[in-house]
Amino acid sequence: MQEKKLIQKFLNSQTKSISSASLILAISYLISAVLGLLRDRLLAGTFGAGNELDVYYAAFTVPDFIALILIFGAIAAAVIPIFSGYLIKSKEDAWRYVSTLLNVFLGFLIIVCVILIIFTPLIVSFMAPGFSGQKKEMAVILMRIMFLSPIILGASNMISGILQVFHRFLVTALAPLLYNLGIIIGILFFVPKFGLQGLAWGVVLGGILHLIVQLPAFFFSGFRYKASFNYKDPGVVKTIKMMIPRSLGLGAGQLNTIATTAIASTLLSGSIAVFNLANNLSSILVNAVAVSVSTAAFPSMSMAFLKEENDEFLRKFSSIFRQIIFLVVPISLLLLILRAQIVRVVLGVGKFGWADTKLTTACLGILALNLIAQALILFLSKTFYAAHNTKIPAIISGLTVAFNIALSLLLVWLVRFSAGFNLFLQSILRLGGVANIGVIALALAYTITAVLECSLLLYMFYKKFPKLHVEEIHNSIYKILIASLIMFILTFLIRQWLGSVVSLQTFWGIFFQLIISGTAGVVTYAIATHLLKSPENKTIIDSFLKKFLYPAKEQKF
């Protein structure tokens, strides 16, 4: 009985400050990152970068696209601010809105997914034109199974948005951990029994776990189900109007992934797998920073805008913007320096061969260059949503996805038909003897597009909010770049020295080189930013360390 009460207290606990919420979410994303690395290691070791993983990642793309545009868009752009507005006036109206919205959207999702299941063979032909025969048939089977996932994750992510309004970040932080755990269970236990289909059932299990863990806190917060399907409800109509531009923007962004998958399917076997594995490695730590900080700050930024507190809104923006830069710049540089060690430690096992390792390392190095842009795209988009402006991110995303498709096709063509360009890439990325370098063109296009999209979002945000604290941001970035340069040089020298004193032919030799070099880089950066009196260094210390000693000084929501 006592254990049951402790579990209930744990799941229903509220977070009182942005720093505490950011810390909880960052830790959860870090743990999720570890599980993600374990998932990718198991995938690489079990299947290698070949047909099986190409099929899995291709089949995953469209169900993920559906969930993203139909539900995730509604949460980020509409559910949190609209529910907050209702909550200020009437709790009863707020919960009525949630119940009606859940019924309408889940009913719509079920209908959409059933239709897509029927037409899955046509979808696979369109988004993976390079697939044929058994490879295409297996992609159809996996995609049909995974179309169950958007329905489950749709309900679960809507619940996450509501719980964040009540500052119940702890339970929402557990959900992605269990999602990855479900996929790992699929690899370990379902694949030996069901073959490649076990991966798809692992995704479905992950979605179920993602939902179940949040239900107790959801009901504890005050939700009571009502069978209301009024699609003309003012709150539902407002949600749809707000989510359409956001969903189009997200859809356009996700089309980058679909377009990349389609083009990669026409390249040599393993191209889809290599790109996805490299992209996962590059984005894991950045998501732990950008997603956790922007998610924790979004409800309070949305509330500040609703209350017309523009100075407070811009103050929060400046602080979070600088913290993201402070954390992501060193991560991207460390990833660039230690890319080979990371790939060999995380993926270099089982059927994942040396050619796969070299190609994934090259892709990871290119993708590491866009991490700052990717993190800021996420934060800037959420800032526009908090300001009830979903059109600007949608338009920019649509333009840049068209640019990415055109650039990808151009660079792939150059790799195939320009001997000079092909030789240049092989030389600079050390890919001598690797035949399948067409995927490098996709990574390069992806990186250039991300930088362009980030630049456009920054420009439009400054035009909309000209009172932005530009000088404050400039001074912080100047110190961050100096500290990052010092870190880069020292980490590179230590990596080279260790390479001459330890055996790089063994797992433990590579692991030792990675850990020592990475740790030295982190410590150097921390010391350098402290000596340069970087304000973000102090903010993080005050928020994440001193909070345990002086909790009263935390910044409240």
Model pLDDT for residues 301-314, shown as the tens digit of each residue: 777 777 766 777 78
Q: Is the pLDDT of residue 557 over 70?
A: no
| Residue 340: C-alpha distances to residues 143, 335, 430, 502, 504 (Å) | 32, 9, 11, 15, 11
Name the residue with tokens 């030799």: 509
Which residue has 């730590």 as its token pair? 285
pLDDT in the model for residue 144: 95
Angle 310-337/354-368 helices, nearest 10 degrees? 150
Give burial (CB, 10 Å; 0-12/13-18/19+) of 419: exposed
* For residues 95-107, average pLDDT: 87
Mean pLDDT of all residues in 11-37:
67
Per-residue pLDDT at 548: 43
Mean pLDDT of 128-143: 92
Residue 18 binned pLDDT confidence (cut-offs 50, 70, 90): low
Look at 493 and 29; give whichever has higher pLDDT: 493
Q: What is the pLDDT of residues 374-422, one digit of tens each?
A: 889 888 888 887 777 778 888 888 889 889 999 999 999 998 888 888 8
DSSP assignment letter at 79: I
Closest by CA to 272, choosing from 49, 444, 43, is 49
C-alpha to C-alpha distance for 167 and 435, rounded to whole angstroms:
51
Q: Which of 370, 361, 359, 358 is closest to 445 using CA atoms?
A: 370
In tens, the pLDDT along 51-77 reads: 899 999 999 888 888 877 766 655 656
> Looking at residues 221-250, what average pLDDT do you find?
78
pLDDT of residue 553: 47
- 3 vs 323: which has the higher pLDDT: 323
Alpha helices in 166-233 (DSSP H): 169-185, 191-194, 197-212, 215-220
The per-residue pLDDT of the chain, averaged, comes to: 83
The predicted model scores a pTM of 0.79
* Per-residue pLDDT, 176: 84
Determine the Cα–Cα distance for residues 491 and 418; give it in Å rounded to an integer: 36
The three-class DSSP label of residue 555 is coil
Query: How sure is the predictor about 536, in pLDDT bands with cuts at 50, 70 and 90?
Result: confident
Helix (H), strand (E) at residue 29:
helix 18-47
Dihedral pair phi/psi, residue 221, rounded to 5°: -70, -15
Nearest to 100 by CA among 237, 204, 260, 213: 237
Name the one residue in this structure whose structure tokens are 């866009």.
Answer: 370
What is the per-residue pLDDT for 549? 43
Average of per-residue pLDDT across 438-459: 93
SS (H, E, C) 101-158: HHHHHHHHHHHHHHHHHHCHHHHHHHHCCCCCHHHHHHHHHHHHHHCHHHHHHHHHHH
**pLDDT of 32 above 90:** no
DSSP 548: G
Q: How confident is the model at residue 493 (pLDDT cuts 50, 70, 90)?
A: very high
